[in-house]
Structure 1
Amino acid sequence: MRGHAWMTCLVILCATVGVRSATAQQAPAGCTSEQRPGAAQTLRCRDGLVIVAEDGAKFTLQSYGGGGVEGVDLQSKAVLVDAPRQKARSRLQVITPQAIAAVRGTKWAVDAQESRTSVLVLNGRVAVRRPGGAGGQVVLGPGEGVDVDPGTGALEVKRWGQPRVDALLARLRQ
């Protein structure tokens, strides 16, 4: 993977929250927003970051002083994140109540649902752990996924079937 400017992966994170309808996220400084009624919202940010949010997704973009987007706090529905390779110490995160997924230079989707967080990687690598660290951390590679529940057991990496991947991408108009 070294030398590639982009890696591609898909991460689905499902959190313990009710599905609620939400208005479009306001574009933060350095980002532009596009949305058509009933369609996914697309945020294009500096440094090549693109975030596509499912219609009704509830999320907040995080910036910790660097000026750019450094994280997505996702509460419901799905987002697709396409992030170019970052500097070694910069790591974009998607955070839900059930899991934290962090990568450098990748593309992934995050879907906040009932009481679990599910993560799937198509290409690249994604580190996944519970917010409190229970069950350790797993690093997923292409085609690997993990379902994270609120428990404390070890996280188990599995292969996902194409129908599960296709269903989420359809919701994001991909």
Structure 2
Amino acid sequence: MDEIAARHHRSRKRAAPAVGRYWAMAMVLVTALAVPLMVSLFQAEAQAQVLPGCTATRVTDPPRQVLDCGNGLLIESEAAAALTAQTPQSGLDLEGRAILIEVSPRESFQVLTPHAIATVRGTQFAVDVDAGVTSVFVVEGSVEVSRRDEPATVLLGPGEGVDVRPGEPLVVREWPQPRVNALLARFGR
């Protein structure tokens, strides 16, 4: 009987480390899956509060957030867009990715990026920020665009866009349809 008990005790000793290893691997896997989910939920919650007084709705195809700020201001931002409010209802800062804005007639609304300032009155337009360039495209209405560090401006009309790069002139161009389609597809259009 002592020999059977001793064998059972030895087999339990060998099994315990294996169970411990599996438990540890399971915990690592759960943590690896849970942390990104918690971070994305935190980011989603943070994005929902971009502008005071706005109501946020999440859209999944493609992933984006729609902010209805009342008074004719509707902002769609890509899921990873980095937005912060300047002051309620007057404008926002965009550090990365793209937004699509629809503004009904109002006093003024601005989008500040690292490279440009886009000021509007009653229009629909997109702003896309990438490393070293801000692109502004007008769907309808008009948008005035300038560099953050220069007073010179250009006025964009429907179908026109400008790429704002440091040290390069602001050149208004009619955007080719494939470029327009690629940008607007990011907002399900």
The TM tier, using the shorter chain, reads 0.7 to 0.9
Aligned amino acid, residue 187 of structure 2: L
Instruction: Indicate the structure (1 or 2) with the bigger Cα radius of gyration.
Output: 2
**Alpha-carbon displacement from aligned partner over 1:20-65 (angstroms, at most 9, x marks no partner):** x8923133432111115672111111212111111111111221xx
Does the 8 Å CA contact 2:66/2:77 hold for their aligned counterparts? yes
One of 104, 115, 118 as aligned partner of 1:101: 118
Unpaired runs of 5+ residues, structure 2, are 1-39
Alignment RMSD (CA, Å): 2.0
Unpaired runs of 5+ residues, structure 1, are 1-20
Aligned to 2:182: 167
What does 1:12-161 align with in structure 2 at a 5 Å threshold? 23-24=43-44, 25-27=47-49, 28-36=51-59, 39-63=63-87, 68-86=88-106, 90-133=107-150, 136-151=152-167, 153-161=168-176
Aligned amino acid, residue 33 of structure 1: A
Paired residues in the alignment total 145
CA positional deviation for 1:154: 3.0
Does the 8 Å CA contact 1:51/1:81 hold for their aligned counterparts? yes
* TM-score (ref. length: structure 2): 0.70
* Larger deviation, residues 123-132 vs 153-162: 153-162
Q: Which has the higher helix share?
A: 2
Does the 8 Å CA contact 2:48/2:55 hold for their aligned counterparts? no
Secondary structure (helix, strand or coil) at the match of 1:46 reads coil
Distance in 2 of aligned mates of 1:157 and 1:29: 33
* TM-score (ref. length: structure 1): 0.76
Does the 8 Å CA contact 2:125/2:140 hold for their aligned counterparts? no
**Alpha-carbon displacement from aligned partner over 1:5-34 (angstroms, at most 9, x marks no partner):** xxxxxxxxxxxxxxxx89231334321111
Distance in 1 of aligned mates of 2:144 and 2:99: 18
Higher relative contact order (CA 8 A, sep 6+): 1
